[in-house]
Amino acid sequence: MGAEWDAWATKYGSSIIETSATGGTKRVTPDGIEDASNDVMMYSIVEAEDKEAAAAMFEGHPHLQIPQASIEVMNITPMAELG
């Protein structure tokens, strides 16, 4: 899968802002902090014209070779723009 990942990263390199692995999840609630788990293995921040264009970048992504894998795409809005 490494070669496929490198090919994807080369194809979209100018749009990829960051890709990092995740791990060691904690859940914080009003009752305190506890260990938790989720299905998130990695995340990428990409720059695209809109959410549909960002999603299209991930069609055929090597991660989808993993059984039952999926990729979720969402907008990121800087806090300063929310005000």
**pLDDT at residue 83 in the model:** 77
Secondary structure of residue 43 in the 3-state scheme: strand
pLDDT digits (tens, 9 = 90+) for 10-64: 999 999 999 999 988 999 999 999 999 998 989 999 999 999 999 999 999 999 9
Which has more confidence, 1 or 31? 31
Dihedral angle computed from the Cα positions of residues 78, 80, 81 and 83, in that order, rounded to the nearest 10 degrees: 130
Distances (CA, A) of 46 to 22, 53, 76: 17, 10, 10
Secondary structure of residue 26 in the 3-state scheme: strand
Parse the chain into domains and list their residue ranges: 2-81
Question: Is the pTM here over 0.85, yes or no?
Answer: no
